[in-house]
């Protein structure tokens, strides 16, 4: 079974600085998606960025980028120029591409605080 | 426009009184999921539908049931809510090769 691990329960960053959130996962599959979801206090789950496992190029969305290391099964999220609105719980997640249904498997989450 | 809509956003129910939460989607996705999320925890999958096929997670209590009358709608029924069922309930739709599409969630309070 697939698992997702986030080793940092809490992180903090100064406004305008850069922070990296760590994620590792375990799978025997070769085709899958990885995601970072943001969940602010409103509790809406918002997709931040996604990465297809077959792509070597790291995904980027504006201030958010990932460092995807498939062999090491590592998928970290870098937030540049941090803003107050980035404060939230961040979940790393995995979704298989090899099954007929593909539930999302979440890591335990990292709570990010942004210091003004 | 919201593609996955959950109603209500907030639900208060009495201990032991049945309650139904609703999820609708405009994406025409085959799969719909229900998750339970307690404070400061990751969402936990309760069950999912692939079309009309219902799939229960092994550790989902019998107290939780679901109905999917058509592609667009899926309901979560809690037959006898206990205090431990107070949580955020998230609905999600999926299709192969896409990310998950979450609704805004229903926050359930049991009094």
What mean pLDDT, rounded, does chain A reach? 93
Phi/psi for B84 (5° steps) reads -75, -10
Interface test with B, best of A23, A45, A113 (most B CBs within 10 A): A45
- A43 and B88 within 8 Å at the Cβ level: the answer is yes
Q: Measure in Å the smallest separation between the Cα of B9 and chain A Cα atoms.
A: 11
User: Which whole number is the average pLDDT over A102-115?
Assistant: 92
Q: How far is CA A110 from CA A36, A59, A103, B81, in A?
A: 11, 20, 21, 30
Contacts of A10 in chain B (CB under 8 A): none
Give me the pLDDT at residue B85, please: 97
**Cα–Cα distance for residue pair A76/A85, rounded to 1 Å:** 20
- A103 and B48 within 8 Å at the Cβ level: the answer is yes
Nearest chain A alpha carbon to B93: A103
Give me the pLDDT at residue A21, please: 98
User: Which whole number is the average pLDDT over A49-76?
Assistant: 94
Contacts of B23 in chain A (CB under 8 A): none
Report DSSP letters for B53-86, one per residue: EEEE-TT--TTEEEE-SSSSEEEEEESS--GGG-
DSSP state of B105: -
Give me the pLDDT at residue A72, please: 96
Nearest CB to B99 within list A33, A44, A103: A33
Give me the pLDDT at residue B100, please: 73
- Closest to A6 in 3D by CA, of A107, A99, A101: A107
Q: How far is CA A68 from CA A55, A98, A108, B14, B74, in A?
A: 9, 20, 19, 47, 35
């Amino acid at each position: 079974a697939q698992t997702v691990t986030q080793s940092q329960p809490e992180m903090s960053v100064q406004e305008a600085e850069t922070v990296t959130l760590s994620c590792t996962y375990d799978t025997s599959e070769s085709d899958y998606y990885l995601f970072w979801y943001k969940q602010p206090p409103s509790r809406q789950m918002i997709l931040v960025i996604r990465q297809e496992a077959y792509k070597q190029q790291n995904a980027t969305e504006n201030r958010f980028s990932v460092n995807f290391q498939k062999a090491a099964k590592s998928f970290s999220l870098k937030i540049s120029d941090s803003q107050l609105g980035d404060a939230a719980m961040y979940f790393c997640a995995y979704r298989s591409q090899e099954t007929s249904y593909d539930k999302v498997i979440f890591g335990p989450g990292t709570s990010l605080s942004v210091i003004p | 426009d919201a593609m996955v809509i959950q109603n209500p956003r907030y639900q208060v129910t009495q201990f032991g009184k049945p309650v139904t939460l609703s999820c609708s989607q405009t994406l025409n996705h085959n799969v719909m999921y229900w998750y339970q999320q307690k404070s400061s925890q990751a969402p936990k999958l309760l069950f999912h539908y692939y079309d009309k096929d219902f799939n229960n997670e092994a550790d989902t209590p019998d107290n939780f049931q679901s109905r999917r009358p058509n592609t667009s709608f899926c309901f979560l029924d809690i037959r006898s809510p206990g205090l431990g069922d107070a949580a955020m309930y998230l609905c999600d739709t999926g299709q192969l090769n896409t990310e998950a599409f979450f609704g805004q969630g229903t926050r359930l309070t049991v009094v």
